[in-house]
Amino acid sequence: MNTYSKSKQLYIADHLSKNLAESERRLNALKAIEKAMKNNDPDLMTGVEMFVKFNKTRFAEQYEIWKGSSLSGAEKSVILGLFKFSN
């Protein structure tokens, strides 16, 4: 299992390798997700804690609570990507 940092690195590299319109939108969503994690549960960014404590569905639900509103498509995509690259 990859660490959060490694999963993030792999996600960003994969994301930037694609020719996506408005690719900055997902990178901004990643920043927002990280800000919420730092403010609410900073240990999630240490090692594999995020991937041990949550599955992708439960993390999306938790992030939605932290955010206080529904997730955007970009946020959902980032979460799926992070969990994809955690393995």
Q: Is residue 63 part of a domain?
A: yes
Q: Is residue 19 part of a domain?
A: no
* pLDDT tens digits, one per residue of 50-63: 999 999 999 999 99
The yes-or-no verdict on residue 8 having pLDDT over 90 is yes
Average pLDDT over residues 6-22: 90
Q: Is residue 45 part of a domain?
A: yes
The yes-or-no verdict on residue 40 having pLDDT over 90 is yes
Q: In this structure, what are the phi and psi dihedrals at residue 63, rounded to the nearest 5 degrees?
A: -65, -40
66 touches 40 (CB < 8 A)? yes
Q: Is residue 30 part of a domain?
A: yes
Q: How many Å apart are CA 67 and CA 13, to the nearest integer?
A: 26
Q: Please give the residue range of the domain that contains residue 58.
A: 4-14+24-84
Share of the chain above pLDDT 70, in %: 100
The total of structural domains in the chain comes to: 1
Helices 4-17 and 73-84 cross at an angle (nearest 10°) of: 120
Residue 8 parent element (H or E): helix 4-17
